[in-house]
Amino acid sequence: MEKVMQELGKSLTDQDVNSLAAQHFESQQDLENKWSNELKQSTAIQKQEYQEWVIKLHQDLKNPNNSSLSEEIKVQPSQFRESVEANGRIYEEQRKLEESFTIHLGAQLKTMHNLRLLRADMLDFCKHKRNHRSGVKLHRLQTALSLYSTSLCGLVLLVDNRINSYSGIKRDFATVCQECTDFHFPRIEEQLEVVQQVVLYARTQRRSKLKESHESGNRNGESDDKTKNADRNYLNILPGEFYITRHSNLSEIHVAFHLCVDDNVKSGNITARDPAIMGLRNILKVCCTHDITTISIPLLLVHDMSEEMTIPWCLRRAELVFKCVKGFMMEMASWDGGISRTVQFLVPQSISEEMFYQLSNMLPQIFRVSSTLTLTSKH
């Protein structure tokens, strides 16, 4: 098309360019339809093969003496050594830090919860460890079996106000979701389209109500600003709001909460009433009402460190999030009757070991810790 546009007015007329553009568009549409159909066919074939494998596995489990089953699920020593060596290389590059705590919350009726502090990438809970093919299949089977249980797992992703998967951690998360076919829920693109439609409908209803209240004279001039703001952010969500995607093809996650935050989270003066903090409260409330017993939260409300995030900044932010989450967890007793849960606080991988251990020392000072278990990797 670039060459055609260069020849416009020389050897080609506007009609010629329009005709070529139409042909180019048709060929592009045909190519997209072709690959879309092939993708649907491949997905259907994979789904059928996986279903047959699950049925065969179920039948083989009834026969404990089945040798083919034991060979399929057994990890060979050579594969185990490869896995250990691969994990060793990863730990050499970035040693994973983790500490676990058991706490009791509540005045009269105490509820036990598990807390974990980890230095890890949030997407590590979504990626499958591809050391062996059957291992991935069995891991996916375990995730699928717990899909309709009362112990679901979720994580919080911090995103911007646009509902798409084009940039940042949204794109990385979508890439991980596309590595394996989801045989149960719609693709993430389809789920995001549904969210966009819901947001569009909600914004339309909200804008119409604002206009009606303004026309009826029930509001002052401030409603003009609200109406204009609603028009400007017609297709976007606001800080503190979140949308949910469901997955059956991720490693340890069933539900992803996409929490909208703005640049204000990078400042050092946010309070307990900040939209991001209130968004965490609403997410925990959804966890209580939908059997999500394990939730992973970015402790510093950021996924990556930057220059302005000094040691005092990290300590203040961690203290704020710890105290707020503790208050929200105490509220959980009135929401769900006091069910034991696991909350995982994640800090970016670029944070120093010294900073990590300062945060781990802060946690038992805020929560009532029963016992502490420190896990470190072997050298």
At residue 18, the pLDDT reads 74
pTM: 0.78
Dihedral (CA of 354, 328, 196, 192) sign? positive
Q: What is the mean pLDDT of residues 219-234?
A: 52
Rounded CA-CA distance 172/176 in Å is 6
Which amino acid, one-letter code, is at 17? Answer: V
| Residue 99 near residue 374 (C-beta atoms within 8 A) | yes
pLDDT tens, position by position, 314-332: 999 999 999 999 999 988 8
**Does 235 share its domain with 362?**
yes
Q: pLDDT band at 254, cuts 50/70/90?
A: very high
**Does 87 share its domain with 44?**
no
Q: Which residue has the higher pLDDT, 8 or 267?
A: 267
At residue 6, the pLDDT reads 60
Q: pLDDT band at 135, cuts 50/70/90?
A: low
Rounded CA-CA distance 338/352 in Å is 35
The DSSP code sequence of 229-256 is: HHHHTTT-PPTT-EEEEE-SSSSS-SEE
Q: Is the pLDDT of residue 377 over 70?
A: no
Rounding to the nearest 10 degrees, give the CA dihedral for residues 252, 258, 263, 264.
-100
- Report the half-sphere exposure of 19 (CA within 13 A, side-chain side): 6
- Report the half-sphere exposure of 315 (CA within 13 A, side-chain side): 10
Radius of gyration for the alpha carbons in the chain, expressed in angstroms and rounded: 26
Rounded CA-CA distance 114/86 in Å is 29
Q: Which residue has the higher pLDDT, 104 or 359?
A: 359
Rounded CA-CA distance 120/94 in Å is 9
**Does 168 share its domain with 27?**
no
Q: What is the mean pLDDT of residues 344-365?
A: 94
In this structure, are strands 152-159 and 292-298 parallel, antiparallel, or unpaired? parallel
The residue out of 36, 62, 88 marking a domain boundary is: 62
The DSSP code sequence of 91-153 is: HHHS--EEEEEEEEE-SSS-EEEEEEEEES-GGGGTS--TT-HHHHHHHHHHHHHTTTSS-EE
At residue 17, the pLDDT reads 67
Lowest mean pLDDT among 191-200, 223-232, 300-309: 223-232
**Does 35 share its domain with 147?**
no
Which secondary structure element, helix H or strand E, spans residue 266, and what is its range? none
Q: Is the pLDDT of residue 252 over 50?
A: yes
Rounded CA-CA distance 156/343 in Å is 11
Mean pLDDT estimate for the chain: 81
**Does 45 share its domain with 81?**
no
**Does 80 share its domain with 133?**
yes
Q: Is the pLDDT of residue 26 over 50?
A: yes
**Is residue 67, in this structure, part of any structural domain at all?**
no
Q: Is the pLDDT of residue 253 over 60?
A: yes
Q: Is the pLDDT of residue 175 over 70?
A: yes
**Is residue 227, in this structure, part of any structural domain at all?**
yes
**242 pairs with which residues across the strands?**
259
Highest mean pLDDT among 63-72, 123-132, 318-327: 318-327
At residue 93, the pLDDT reads 42
Rounded CA-CA distance 344/115 in Å is 6
At residue 224, the pLDDT reads 53
**b/e for 48-70, b at 16 or more Cβ within 10 A?**
eebeeebeeeeebeeeeeeeebe
**116 pairs with which residues across the strands?**
100, 344
Rounded CA-CA distance 55/43 in Å is 18
Q: What is the mean pLDDT of residues 54-63?
A: 77
Q: How many residues does the chain have?
A: 379
**Is residue 347, in this structure, part of any structural domain at all?**
yes
Q: What is the mean pLDDT of residues 120-133?
A: 80
**Does 258 share its domain with 338?**
yes
Q: Which two tokens stand for residue 99?
A: 């500490």
**Does 42 share its domain with 158?**
no
Q: Which residue has the higher pLDDT, 281 or 5?
A: 281
Q: Which two tokens stand for residue 215?
A: 């026309």
Q: pLDDT band at 80, cuts 50/70/90?
A: very low
The residue out of 62, 88, 104 marking a domain boundary is: 62
**Does 91 share its domain with 45?**
no
**Does 49 share its domain with 106?**
no
Q: Is the pLDDT of residue 375 over 80?
A: no
Helix ranges (DSSP H) in the chain:
2-6, 14-61, 67-73, 77-93, 133-145, 168-177, 188-215, 222-232, 275-289, 311-336, 353-366
- Count the domains in the chain: 2
Q: pLDDT band at 182, cuts 50/70/90?
A: confident
**Does 27 share its domain with 161?**
no
Rounded CA-CA distance 185/292 in Å is 17
Lowest mean pLDDT among 101-110, 118-127, 162-171, 268-277: 101-110
Q: What is the mean pLDDT of residues 31-36?
A: 83
**Is residue 70, in this structure, part of any structural domain at all?**
no
Q: pLDDT band at 44, cuts 50/70/90?
A: confident
Domain that holds residue 26: 1-62
% the chain with pLDDT above 70: 78
At residue 69, the pLDDT reads 55
At residue 161, the pLDDT reads 92
Q: Which residue has the higher pLDDT, 317 or 229?
A: 317
| Residue 320 near residue 367 (C-beta atoms within 8 A) | no
Q: What is the mean pLDDT of residues 5-10?
A: 61
Of 107, 99, 119, 110, the residue nearest 372 (C-alpha):
99
Dihedral (CA of 114, 119, 123, 124) sign? negative
Any idea what DSSP says for residue 63?
-
At residue 152, the pLDDT reads 94
